[in-house]
Amino acid sequence: MMPKVMPVFQIFLTRLVIVLAAAAMASGCGTFKGWFGKKKSEKPPEVMAQEGIQQLRKKKYLDAAETFETLRDRYPYSQEALLAQIKLADAYFYKKNYPEALQAYKDFEKLHPTNPAVPYCIYQQGLCYYRQRSTIDRDQTFTSQAMGEFQRLKQKFPDSEYAGKADKYIARCRKDLAEHEFYVGEYYYRTKHYPSALERFQILASEYQEFKPNEVKGYIEKCQTRIANPEKSKGNFITNLFDAKW
């Protein structure tokens, strides 16, 4: 069996965290002197990074976000600032503040397009949209945006570990979108808006062939029949009256 190769992004973060831990331990040796100083010195970036990571692990997401924001703003050109930008987005994400997290991941990708963490950021952008999606009877904008990000990830970084993880979310998004089209199509059919219903079922037949193909085909045929025979589809008032479910 071939040994499992650690992903590039994971290696990047692991090495960075090890360096930060070592630097934090080294800086701790000088704290005794600081007790007797007149002015409290600012924490170095590696210490702040370690504090932020610990706060994330303890699920103190607001504290972590504040720590990483301060680190990013105070030491913008440090290596730790890169980590802070990603972890700030993570803090927002775990706090379920998806709009803020989404923007933070987008900012990182825009500022550092060649960084090994970019596939992770795209994956997280997809999750930010995915976590905001609604039920199938509501607008599916977030579902479409989530699927778009996951597909973009697979196209740009097909060998990334996150591309593999995106597959299940693409499948779920497609299912939600198909169910939405079917729901709306049935609604239009029940309310006798046959052209609108036909359009929805034709979309299903062309874009979501795997979704209830027999039922979709049946609805298309019924819609076409109703449209071709509009007078017959209106029916008789007495018949409709007695067919109604009161």
Whole-number Å distance between alpha carbons of 190 and 209 = 23
Q: What pLDDT does residue 190 have?
A: 96
Residue 12: how many CB atoms within 10 A of its CB?
Answer: 17
**Residues whose CB is less than 8 angstroms from the CB of residue 213 and which lie 6 or more positions away in sequence, other chains included:** 205
> What would the pLDDT profile of 152-192 be if each residue is shown by its tens digit?
999 999 999 999 999 999 999 999 999 999 999 999 999 99
N-to-C CA span, the chain = 67
3-state secondary structure (DSSP) of residue 106: helix
> What would the pLDDT profile of 49-63 be if each residue is shown by its tens digit?
999 999 999 999 999
Contact by Cβ (8 Å): 189, 219 = yes
Torsion of CA 131, 134, 139, 140, to 10 degrees: 50
Helices (H) and strands (E) in the chain, counts: 13, 0
